[in-house]
Amino acid sequence: MVVPFLNEEENLPVLYDRLVGVLDGEPEDLQILFIDDGSTDASASWVADTAKKDSRVRLLQLSRNFGHQIAITAGMDHAEGDAVVIIDADLQDPPEVIPELMAKWREGYEVVYAVRKSRSGESWLKKFLAHNFYKIFRAMVKMEVPLDAGDFRLVDRCVVDALRDVRELHRFVRGLTCWVGYRQAAVYYERAPRHAGKTKYPVWKSANLAWDAMTSFSGTPLRWVTVAGILVAGLGGLRAMRTIWARIVRPDDYVPGWATIVALILIIGGIQLICMGVIGQYVSRIFEESKKRPLYLLRPEKPKRDDGHRGP
Ligand code: UDP
Ligand code: MG
C-alpha cells in the first residue's frame, strides 16, 4: 500500500483504520508505506507514532514537496510487496475497493486500475476538464488508456520493477503504468468526496499534470503548431491575392487597409509566439531531462544523534 500525502492530518487516522479493517481479512501480508510529500502539519508525526505501535506501517519523508506523482514514484521505489496499491490519503479512493483489485490480481492481471463511475464533491469544472482530458489524451497517444482512472490502482511487482527503469522527470504515473503493458484489468467504483481538508490539486495544478501527460507521451502538440502555421500562412496568402486582385480590377476603389494590416500582424505575431512557446516547452523538457537530477531526495530515517556529538 503506497499512500502519498500532503498535510492530511485529519484523514490519515481514518484511512489507517479503514485500511486495516478491510485488509485484515485478506491472506496477504499488509504493509502501509506513507510518503510525506513535505507536509507542514502533524500528519508526519502521526505516522511516525503509529509506525512505532504497528510494524506494518512505514514512513518515508521527502526532503520537501516534490509533487504527487513524484511522491507515488518514491513510494513504489521503496515498497516491498508482491503487489503495490496506490491510494490517495483523503479517502476519495475507498479502501473497500482494494479486495476487488486484489481478486483481479490473483486472477493473473498485473495492472488493475480503478475507474471512477462517478465523482462526487468535486467542482463541475474539474469533472468536465478531467473527462475531456482523458478523451483527448487517449486520441493523442494511441495507447489503450482507461478513461477516468486516477492513480488508484494495483500494480504487480514486475510493473514496479519496470517503472524503476523509467526515470523521466515529468512523470504521469497512470500513463506509465499503462505504457509498460502487461495484462491490465479494470474495476469500477464510486469516487467519494474528500473526507476532510481541501484539495491539493486546484484546477491549475491539474492542468499542469495534463500538459505534462501530453508532452511526455506525445509530440502531437508540435504537430498542432505546424498545422496552425500552415493554416494561418494559407489564409494570409489568400488575403494577399484578393488585395492584389482588387488593386488591379478596381484601382479607384482601393481602401488603405490599415486595420487589416494591424489585425493580421497581431494575429500572426500571436500565433508565432504560441508556437514558439510550445516548441520552447519541449526544449526546456530536453534541458531538464538532460540534467539527470534525482527525482526526489529523502530525509534521513534515523533521528539525529542527541548526545551532542557532531561530525565524525
Ligand atoms: N498530494 C501529495 N503531494 C502534492 C499534492 C497532493 O502527496 O503535492 C496527495 C494528497 O495528500 C492526496 C493525493 O495526493 O493524498 C491526492 O491529492 P488531492 O486529494 O488533493 O487531489 P484531488 O483528489 O482533489 O485531485
Ligand atoms: Mg483527493
For range 294-306, the mean pLDDT: 77
Is pLDDT at 129 greater than 80 in this prediction? Answer: yes
How many other C-beta atoms lie within 10 A of the C-beta of residue 37? 28
C-beta 88 within 6 A of ligand 1: yes
Under the banding of pLDDT at 50, 70 and 90, the label for residue 110 is very high
Which residue's CA is the closest to the ligand 1 atom numbered 9?
5
Q: What share of the chain is helix, strand, coil (3-state, %, to 5)?
A: 50, 15, 35
C-beta 9 within 6 A of ligand 1: no
Is pLDDT at 154 greater than 70 in this prediction? Answer: yes
User: Which residue did the predictor score with more confidence, 203 or 5?
Assistant: 5
Of all residues in the chain, the percent with pLDDT exceeding 90 is 30
The reported pLDDT for the residue numbered 303 is 61
Strand residue runs (E) in 54-124: 57-61, 83-86, 111-119
Which residue's CA is the closest to the ligand 1 atom numbered 25?
201
The reported pLDDT for the residue numbered 88 is 92
The reported pLDDT for the residue numbered 307 is 59
Query: Which residues face 188 on adjacent strands?
Result: 115
How many other C-beta atoms lie within 10 A of the C-beta of residue 272? 14
Q: pLDDT, tens digit, for every residue of 186-205? A: 899 888 888 888 888 888 88
d(CA 12, CA 50): 10
The reported pLDDT for the residue numbered 45 is 92
CA distances from 238 to 43, 197, 233, 252, 269 (A): 63, 56, 9, 22, 18
Class for the domain spanning 2-217: alpha beta
- With a CB cutoff of 8 Å and minimum separation 6, the contacts of 134 are 145, 146, 147, 148
- With a CB cutoff of 8 Å and minimum separation 6, the contacts of 227 are none
Residue 68 CA to ligand 1 centre (angstroms): 6
Under the banding of pLDDT at 50, 70 and 90, the label for residue 26 is confident
d(CA 254, CA 51): 83
Q: In 3-state terms, what secondary structure has residue 16?
A: helix
Domains of the chain, by residue range, sit at: 2-217, 220-290
The reported pLDDT for the residue numbered 60 is 93
C-beta 38 within 6 A of ligand 1: no
Measured in degrees and rounded to the nearest 5, phi and psi for residue 290 equal: -70, -20
Mean pLDDT of all residues in the chain? 85
The reported pLDDT for the residue numbered 148 is 79
Residue 36 CA to ligand 2 centre (angstroms): 15
Under the banding of pLDDT at 50, 70 and 90, the label for residue 306 is low
For range 287-294, the mean pLDDT: 84
Q: pLDDT, tens digit, for every residue of 208-256? A: 888 888 888 887 888 787 788 788 878 877 877 777 787 788 777 666 7
CA-based end-to-end distance of the chain: 37
C-beta 65 within 6 A of ligand 1: yes
Atom of ligand 1 nearest to the CA of 92: 23
d(CA 18, CA 87): 12
Under the banding of pLDDT at 50, 70 and 90, the label for residue 149 is confident
Lowest mean pLDDT among 29-43, 91-105, 280-294: 280-294
Under the banding of pLDDT at 50, 70 and 90, the label for residue 72 is very high
